[in-house]
Each structure stands twice: as C-alpha cells, then as structure tokens.
C-alpha cells in the first residue's frame, strides 16, 4: 500500500511555534473546561433526573449497581450495532465517488481519507474530521485542498438531505406518536438544509468564473486560485445527473446508521425498534448541530437516551442504549482510523502539525492579499 510522500522539510515545530501552540491552548482552556462541564451535565441526564427548583438535586432514574451488572446482557445486539456503525465509513467513500471530479481517486484512497477523518472527528475536539478527510485526500492525490473540501461539503449537504428524508419517513410510520417534538426540529433542519443548498448552488455557479477572473489580477491571484479550486470541488452541484447519483449514494451511510440504531432498539425489546432507528438517528444528528463547544458526547447521551425512552424503553435500558452505542461507534471509528493511519505510516501528530502549518500559510496569504487590496 502506498505511503504518503515525505514533506519537503521536517515538521518538528520550532520553540516559538511550540510556545504559540501552548499559548493557544491556554486561551482555549476556559472554553474547553466549560464545554466539558456542560457535556458531563448533559450526559448525566441519561442516569439522573436533574431538579433545579430549590437548589440542584439529582434523582437517580434507576439503581446504578443493578444497571452495571446487567450491561453484559446487551452483547447480542451490540456486535451487530458496531458492524453497522463501521459500515458507514466505506459507504461514505462510495458516495464521495460522485462528488469528486473525473477521474476520481480510487476507492482505497477515498476510504482511508474518510476513516482518518472519522478518527480525528472523535479523537480531538472541534469536529474537524471533515477537514482532515479533505486534507488527507488532497495530500495523497493531485488535488488542491479547497477542491477536495468542496467535494466533501457537497457530500455532507446531500447526506443531510437523505437524513431528513429517512427521519421524515420514520416519523410518518409507527413511531409518529413517540417523538412528536422531532417534527419541529425536522422542519427547522429542513429550512437550514434549503439555505445551505441555495448557498451551494450560488457558490457552484459563481466560484469558478470569479476565481478565474481574480487570477488575472496579480494582487488577487492567490485568492482566485483558492476560489477556483473550491468551485471545481462544487462542480457536482452544476450537473443534475451527478447530483442525482450522489444523492442516491447518500442514502447508504444514512440507512446503515438508522439500521444500527434500529437493531439496538429491537434488541432492547422496543416494539418495531428497527423502524424506529430513523427517529433516534434524527434526534442524535440534530443534537450534534452544536457550535464549537466540546459538548458532543453530552448531547449524544441526552438525545439518544431521550429518544429511546420516548419510544418505549425503560430508563435503565435507555441509559444502556446511550452508553453502549456511544462506546461501540467511538471505538470502531477510532480503530479503523488507526488502521488507515498505520497503513500509510502516518502519525496523528504529524498530520495535525502539517494541517496547522498549511492553515497558517493560507491565513498569511489571506492577510497579505487583504493588505495588497487595500
């Protein structure tokens, strides 16, 4: 298996860069601490009822000792869930085939990029997995970062559309009475998706010609190249046929995730649990649409346990559902990501340093262009 090309210069940070990195972490520390506190509070809602009137009071939803002793009994559905959760990654690589320019990179390169992106999405705060996914493929193949990123953005937009369709069908079925509040969230997410679609159509229509025009101006040539690359990455949006194929392929990862949750619910004894997996997927996915704070884990426990209880699971079953599905999806995606990193002989820290250096170069270029334009 091919390894990544060596960088032209060592990636060991200088003392000034190392101190700059530590200084950035120190500035972010209060926000990270606040996010971790909020995340722990949200995760606790799966195990406790939180009462704020008359002072903070936690009421256990069930005996924790008995709950821990019963966790091994859920192994029958947990293995199936882990397999289906891991299957989301190759299905995303298949979808990516239709949003990349021809000739598209081979499946192995797309899969490893998706797996490495999933690793960084789960391993570091900030939800930067899709940026690492785009960066790795651009690093591996003859693509610019912005072209790769544009194709990833189209993937995420179409996956959101497929998610809304699957959740809408699930809510219209037997689970419609169990989670009525999701209809409002679904409508809001639909409006958000339409706004993103309009933005993508506008960018796909104007980014490439505007970028080519800016390249003719010496002061704006760098901005023009980046904008033109982004336009090439969004080229799928301009082709109805490729958009249709990419949209159909987007149902693969969404249905795999919905089926994974459905199998888990069925294993817990929830009536028609397989059908209700789409409802849980909708609640979890919409709950992850949170800004910068590292509260993704807490939101997962909150939304998944709430959805499971709304669908008929007992409180202790809902807590086991949240904890075990989170552990299984996290461990499976970290594992396949580590395998992909090892296959390419790349260390996570090395890739992070190179991405940060590339981001600094892009930021410096943008500042220089702004000064020249003014």
- Name the H helices within 269-314: 273-287, 296-310
Whether the predicted pLDDT of 17 surpasses 60 = no
**Rounded distance between C-alpha atoms, residue 115 and residue 111, angstroms:** 6
**Widest distance between CA atoms in the chain:** 70
Whether the predicted pLDDT of 291 surpasses 60 = no
**204 or 309: which leads in pLDDT:** 309
Q: Is the sign of the CA dihedral 256, 325, 272, 184 positive or negative?
A: negative
* Mean pLDDT, rounded, for 122-128: 81
* Mean pLDDT, rounded, for 87-99: 95
Give the lowest-confidence range in 3-7, 108-112, 192-196, 305-309.
3-7
pLDDT (tens digit, 9 = 90+) per residue, 216-243? Answer: 666 666 666 665 566 665 666 667 888 8
The full set of domain ranges for the chain reads: 15-373
Mapped onto helix, strand or coil, the DSSP state of residue 6 is: coil
Answer yes or no: are the C-beta atoms of 64 and 255 closer than 8 Å.
Answer: no
**170 or 195: which leads in pLDDT:** 170
- If phi > 0 it is left, if psi is from -120 to 50 it is alpha, else beta; for residue 144 that is beta
Position 16 scores a pLDDT of 47
Write 344-352 long-range contacts (CB < 8 A, 24+). Answer: 344/1, 344/2, 344/3, 344/4, 344/112, 344/140, 345/3, 345/4, 346/3, 346/4, 346/116, 348/119, 348/120, 348/123, 350/11, 351/116, 351/120, 351/132, 351/135, 351/136, 352/120, 352/124
**309 or 292: which leads in pLDDT:** 309
**210 or 273: which leads in pLDDT:** 273
Mapped onto helix, strand or coil, the DSSP state of residue 50 is: strand
Across the chain, mean pLDDT equals 79
> At 374, is the pLDDT very low, low, confident or very high (cuts 50, 70, 90)?
low
> At 248, is the pLDDT very low, low, confident or very high (cuts 50, 70, 90)?
very high
pLDDT (tens digit, 9 = 90+) per residue, 147-193? Answer: 888 889 889 888 988 998 898 888 877 665 655 566 666 666 667 66
Distance of CA 263 to the CA centre of its chain: 22
pLDDT (tens digit, 9 = 90+) per residue, 41-64? Answer: 889 999 998 877 766 778 889 999
Q: Percent of the chain, pLDDT > 70?
A: 68
Burial status of residue 211 (CB atoms within 10 A of its CB: 0-12, 13-18, 19 or more): buried
**Rounded distance between C-alpha atoms, residue 35 and residue 294, angstroms:** 5
pLDDT (tens digit, 9 = 90+) per residue, 22-39? Answer: 566 566 677 677 777 888
Position 154 scores a pLDDT of 86
């Amino acid at each position: 298996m091919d390894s990544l090309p060596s960088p032209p210069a060592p990636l060991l940070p200088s003392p000034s860069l190392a101190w700059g990195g530590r200084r950035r972490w120190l500035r972010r520390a209060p926000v990270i601490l606040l996010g971790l506190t909020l995340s722990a509070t949200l995760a606790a809602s799966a195990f406790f009822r939180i009462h704020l009137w008359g002072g903070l009071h936690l009421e256990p939803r069930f005996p924790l000792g008995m709950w821990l002793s019963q966790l091994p009994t859920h192994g029958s559905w947990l293995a199936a869930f882990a397999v289906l959760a891991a299957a989301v990654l190759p299905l995303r690589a298949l979808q990516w085939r239709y949003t990349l320019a021809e000739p598209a990179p081979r499946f192995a390169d797309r899969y490893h990029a998706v797996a490495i992106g999933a690793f960084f999405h789960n391993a570091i705060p900030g939800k930067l997995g899709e940026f690492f996914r785009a960066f790795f493929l651009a690093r591996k193949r003859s693509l610019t970062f912005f072209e790769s990123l544009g194709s990833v953005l189209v993937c995420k937009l179409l996956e959101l559309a497929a998610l809304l369709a699957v959740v809408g069908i699930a809510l219209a079925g037997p689970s419609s009475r169990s989670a009525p509040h999701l209809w409002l969230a679904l409508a809001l997410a639909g409006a958000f998706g339409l706004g993103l679609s309009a933005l993508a159509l506008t960018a796909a229509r104007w980014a490439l010609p505007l970028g080519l025009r800016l390249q003719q101006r010496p002061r704006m040539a760098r901005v023009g190249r980046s904008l033109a690359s982004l336009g090439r990455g969004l080229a799928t949006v301009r082709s109805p046929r490729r958009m249709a194929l990419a949209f159909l392929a987007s149902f693969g990862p969404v249905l795999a995730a919905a089926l994974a949750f459905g199998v888990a619910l069925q294993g817990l004894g929830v009536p028609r649990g397989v059908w209700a997996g789409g409802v849980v997927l909708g609640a979890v996915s919409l709950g992850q649409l949170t800004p910068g704070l590292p509260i993704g884990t807490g939101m997962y426990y909150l939304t998944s346990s709430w959805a499971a209880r709304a669908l008929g699971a007992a409180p202790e079953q809902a807590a086991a559902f949240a904890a075990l599905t989170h552990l299984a999806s996290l461990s499976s995606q970290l594992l396949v990501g580590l395998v992909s990193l090892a296959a390419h002989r790349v260390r996570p820290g090395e890739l992070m340093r190179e991405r940060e250096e590339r981001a600094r170069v892009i930021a410096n270029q943008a500042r220089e262009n702004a000064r020249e334009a003014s």
